[in-house]
């Protein structure tokens, strides 16, 4: 037999097929032959005849409009009161704001009244529960760099975290005094809590007074203002005493002793201090586990849940008593009473102490540097939440549009009808 050029095999052999090798079904990548895997599930495919279209739009309109009316009605029942921007020198009603000097300065020379009193008029009786908020404007908590700047491990109280352990999470604020890249990777150099969110924590405080009863203070509570998952799992002071280390907003808590507490909490504090074996945990002050202070403060937890829009409210307190119609005052303050217990007012009227600088606190939470504003809001609630007429209006508008379209299609079908094919002849309706 002749052979093919450049080949040692017969010509017929070059056309021979490779032997069939059975595939192991267990190694096959073919999806299972089921309706779900093969995307052959039964489905309802409505035929959009004029009658179906008209009926659909009509039903949607008849459902949406009543829902919108109910939402607007509930929203109108909510009583909401908002103060003017107290960061300014004057409020919209002409009364004085909290700034007294250098109001537009960004070099640290601005001076605020501290404490500062702003007027708030309640137009009608407000039934409990009443929620007290602070509202910030032009503050972009939703910036990617800002949102990512936190260490969840540190906030959960994980012990032994060195600067290199949190550097990836808190690039901007994570180490104190020593560069982590120059021999500074030591637990004692860690800023706790680290990151931009905690570093910019809102620290104005509020007290509500009723002018109608001689300026008596209204009782408020901050218990329960944070999410339950935050209070139980996500925020815990570190047992080693590192929480609040090199963190100015917790300076008072770090310096305070167990005598600042009372009852069972004071006993827990004393037991914690007695069990301490290191100088670090003895320096923790009130930043010990289950103290309710430092990162376990619910005001801090509320701040750490970043807002999605530049203007936002955050819950500050709840009021469990009725607020009668009338005039009220909100006292805004920042800092603590002087450590000696005495009032030491300056020329501008400041009476509170800054535990970091060792001087009187002459400013409130700063917003003028980024063109922001601050207000205080009181609001009741309905079963739909706070005051929000937009959702109800949106339902009514959509419902009205659907009814209008139903009417247009109905008129069109009757004035100039179009003969349709018989749906029974469509192939997917046939069996077999």
What's the CA gap between 348 and 350, in Å, rounded?
A: 6
Q: List CB contacts of 185: < 8 A, sequence separation 6 or more.
A: 162, 163, 164
Query: Smallest Cα–Cα separation from 334: which of 80, 86, 84, 85?
Result: 86
Mean pLDDT is lowest, of 183-187, 196-200, 224-228, for: 183-187
Relative to beta strand 111-112, strand 99-101 is: antiparallel
Query: What pLDDT is recorded for position 354?
Result: 78
* The total number of residues written for the chain in this structure: 432
Is residue 424 pLDDT above 90, yes or no? no
Mean per-residue pLDDT for 60-78?
A: 96
Question: How confident is the prediction for the chain on average, in pLDDT?
Answer: 86
Question: Which band of pLDDT confidence, cut at 50, 70 and 90, is reported for residue 324?
Answer: very high
3-state secondary structure of 343: coil
**φ, ψ of residue 120 in degrees (nearest 5):** -145, 120
Decide if 201 contacts 249 (C-beta within 8 A): yes
Residue 426 confidence (pLDDT):
65
- Of 281, 314, 115, which is closest to residue 197 (Cα–Cα)? 314
The two tokens of residue 376 are: 């205080």
Q: What is the pLDDT of residue 347?
A: 40
Q: Which has the minimum average pLDDT: 96-110, 201-215, 262-276?
A: 96-110
**Separation CA 245–CA 225 (nearest Å):** 25
pTM as predicted: 0.81
**pLDDT value at 172 more than 90:** no
Q: How many CB atoms are closer than 10 A to CB 208?
A: 21
pLDDT at 346: 42
What does the pLDDT average to over 252-273?
90
Confidence of residue 49 (pLDDT cuts 50, 70, 90): confident
pLDDT score, position 269: 92
- pLDDT value at 206 more than 50: yes
The confidence score (pLDDT) of residue 336 equals 76
Terminal-residue alpha carbon distance, the chain: 57
- Please report where in the chains the tokens 């109905």 appear, as a residue: 410
b/e burial code for range 15-39 (CB count within 10 A of at least 16 → b): eeeeeeeeeeeeeeeeeeeeeeeee
Residue 211: C-alpha distances to residues 90, 200, 214, 302 (Å): 21, 33, 5, 29
Once rounded to an integer, what is the mean pLDDT over residues 97-106? 86
pLDDT band for position 345 (cuts 50, 70, 90): very low
Question: Tell me, what's the pLDDT at 2?
Answer: 47
Instruction: Please give the residue that has the higher pLDDT: either 92 or 329.
Output: 329
Phi, psi of 279 (to 5 degrees): -70, -30
Instruction: Report percent pLDDT > 70 for the chain.
Output: 86
Residue environment code for 275-313, b if the CB has 16+ CB neighbours within 10 A, otherwise e: ebeeeebeebbbbbeebebbbbbbbbbbbbeeeeeeebb
pLDDT tens readout for residues 388-403:
999 999 999 999 999 9
Q: Which tokens is 138 given?
A: 């032009």
Q: Who has greater pLDDT, 144 or 188?
A: 144
Phi, psi of 216 (to 5 degrees): -65, 140
Collect all residues with Cβ–Cβ distance below 8 Å to 79 and sequence separation of at least 6: 122, 123, 124, 125, 126, 379, 380
CA geometry: angle at 231 spanning 292 and 262, to 5°? 20
For residue 109, the SS3 value is coil
Task: Tell me the mean pLDDT in the region 231-248.
Answer: 93
pLDDT given at position 94: 72
Average pLDDT over residues 133-154: 95
Question: What order of strands is seen across the sheet that includes strand 216-217?
Answer: 116-122, 326-333, 205-210, 216-217
Note the pLDDT of residue 350.
Answer: 47
Q: What is the pLDDT of residue 398?
A: 98
CA dist 147 to 62, 70, 259, 311, 378, Å?
Answer: 43, 37, 37, 16, 28
Compute the average pLDDT of residues 173-182.
Answer: 72
For residue 406, what pLDDT band results from cuts at 50, 70 and 90? Answer: very high
Q: How far is CA 183 from CA 159, 164, 193, 280, in A?
A: 20, 11, 21, 21
User: Which of 100 and 225 is assigned the larger pLDDT?
Assistant: 225
Average pLDDT of the segment spanning 251-262: 88
More confident residue, 343 or 260: 260
């Amino acid at each position: 037999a002749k052979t093919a050029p450049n080949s040692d095999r017969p010509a017929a052999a070059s056309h021979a097929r490779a032997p069939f090798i059975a595939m192991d079904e267990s190694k096959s990548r073919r999806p299972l032959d089921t309706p779900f895997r093969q995307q052959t599930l039964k489905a309802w495919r409505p035929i959009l005849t004029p009658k179906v279209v008209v009926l659909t739009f009509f039903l949607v309109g008849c459902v949406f409009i009543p829902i919108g009316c109910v939402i607007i009605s509930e929203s109108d029942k909510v009583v909401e009161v908002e103060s003017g921007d107290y960061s300014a020198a004057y409020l919209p009603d002409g009364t004085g704001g909290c700034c007294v000097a250098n109001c537009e300065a960004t070099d640290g020379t601005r001076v605020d009244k501290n404490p500062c009193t702003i007027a708030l008029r309640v137009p009608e009786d407000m039934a409990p529960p009443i929620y007290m908020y602070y509202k910030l404007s032009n503050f972009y908590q939703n910036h990617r760099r800002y949102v990512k700047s936190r260490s969840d491990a540190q906030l959960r109280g994980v012990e032994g975290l060195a600067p290199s352990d949190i550097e990836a999470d808190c690039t901007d604020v994570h180490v104190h005094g020593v560069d982590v890249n120059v021999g500074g990777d030591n637990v004692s150099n860690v800023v706790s809590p680290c990151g931009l969110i905690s570093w910019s924590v809102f620290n104005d405080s509020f007290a509500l007074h009723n002018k109608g009863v001689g300026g008596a203070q209204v009782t408020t509570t901050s218990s329960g203002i944070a999410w339950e998952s935050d209070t139980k799992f996500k925020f815990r002071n570190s047992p080693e005493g590192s929480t609040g280390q090199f963190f100015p907003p917790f300076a008072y808590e770090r310096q305070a002793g167990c005598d600042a507490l009372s009852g069972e909490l004071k006993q827990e504090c004393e037991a914690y201090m007695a069990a301490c074996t290191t100088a670090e945990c003895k320096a923790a002050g009130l930043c010990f586990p289950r103290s309710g202070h430092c990162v376990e403060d619910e005001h801090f937890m509320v701040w750490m849940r970043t807002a999605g829009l530049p203007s936002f409210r955050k819950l500050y307190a709840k009021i469990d008593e009725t607020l009668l119609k009338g005039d009220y005052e909100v006292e805004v303050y920042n800092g603590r009473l002087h450590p000696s217990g005495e009032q030491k007012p300056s020329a501008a009227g400041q009476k509170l102490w800054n535990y970091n600088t060792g001087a009187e606190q002459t400013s409130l939470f700063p917003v003028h540097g980024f063109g922001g504003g601050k207000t205080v809001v009181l609001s009741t609630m309905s079963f739909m939440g706070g005051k929000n007429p937009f959702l109800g209006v949106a339902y009514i508008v959509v419902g009205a549009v659907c009814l209008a379209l139903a009417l247009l299609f109905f008129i069109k079908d009757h004035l100039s009808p179009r003969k349709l094919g018989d749906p029974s002849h469509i192939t997917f309706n046939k069996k077999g």
